[in-house]
Amino acid sequence: MKKTVLITGASSGIGWVTAEYFARNNWNVVATMRHPDKRNIESNENITYLHLDVTDKKSIADAINTAVEQFNKIDVVINNAGYALYGVFEAFEEHQIKKQYETNVFGLINVTQAVLPHFRKMKQGCIINISSMGGIAGFPLYSLYQSTKFAVEGLSESLSYELQNLNIRIKLIEPGVIKTNFYTSSLDEVDAAGISDYSFMESVYKQKNAELGKKGSDPILVAKMIYKAANDKSSRLRYPVGSDAKLLYGLRKILPLDAFRLIIKSVFSKK
């Protein structure tokens, strides 16, 4: 019997590449997005496109119910929907901060809570949360975005213990820099207008950010790691993706915190 995966934020980037990869491996794919009507959707017999806004609980319930009605069950949920708020912390406005958390944290919580009753009924399931190497280390100008990923890391680790006796697995995917629209259309940039003390730092870091976006790993590497995690029956929690993420994760594990912070400072102090 074919397995079924539901993916949030599947209109582009990692979400879309992952949907295609699971479909090629003969899974039923429920690719959800806020505006499926606005996307030029490719025909694929293994992919069903549904509306789902992670900040709208009704749309989440409707998508899950439709998927279960059509395929009898959901085996895996991939919490991929999210975006990055980028800029000087002092310049962020309250509505921007709330939107970042409503999507990246509360949206993920909404989807997870909505699918757990189904997984408990099935006595099995897998929830894959897309985190980031920015969920284990903070970088300048990403304070809000990375704080949401730290939240996802803590939530996922706690849930992995809470759900283990119910045969529900929690997995964290931690990509490094990936060549997607993350650094362009998905990046919500905020300028520190009028705060001259940050001008030099902004110009240096934004240039580095643009350079990083061009050198990232192919998103197919993330899709393959997600697929591996979906099929991994072990209790493994974290799956770093890309040489940069694996290096960072390794250093974080073996170095004292102060030594690790010195390395991060040295990287971002280079002009």
- Among all chains, which residue has been given the structure tokens 């280390």? 137
- Higher confidence at residue 271 or residue 113? 113
Residue 156 has pLDDT above 70, yes or no: yes
C-alpha span between 24 and 208 (Å, rounded): 36
CB 177 within 8 A of CB 242: yes
pLDDT of residue 186: 65
Domains of the chain: 4-269 (3.40.50.720)
Percent of the chain with pLDDT over 90: 75
Exposure letters 82-119 (e unless 16+ CB within 10 A, then b)? bbbbbbbbeebeeeeeebbeebbbebbebbbebbbebb
More confident residue, 77 or 206: 77
Residue 130 scores a pLDDT above 90: yes
Give buried/exposed letters for 205-222 (b at 16+ CB in 10 A, else e): beebbeeebeebbebebb
* CA trace torsion 172, 78, 2, 40 (10° rounding): -140
Rounded percentage of the chain residues whose pLDDT exceeds 70 = 95
- Provide the 3-class DSSP secondary structure of residue 3: coil
Burial 19-54 (b: 16+ CB within 10 A, else e): bbbbbeeebbbbbbbbebeeeeeeeeebbbbbebbb
Tens of pLDDT, residue by residue over 82-117, are: 999 999 999 999 999 999 999 999 999 999 999 999
The encoded tokens of residue 54 equal 């992670």
- pTM given for the model: 0.93
Annotated catalytic residues are: 145
The token pair at 258 is 């102060």
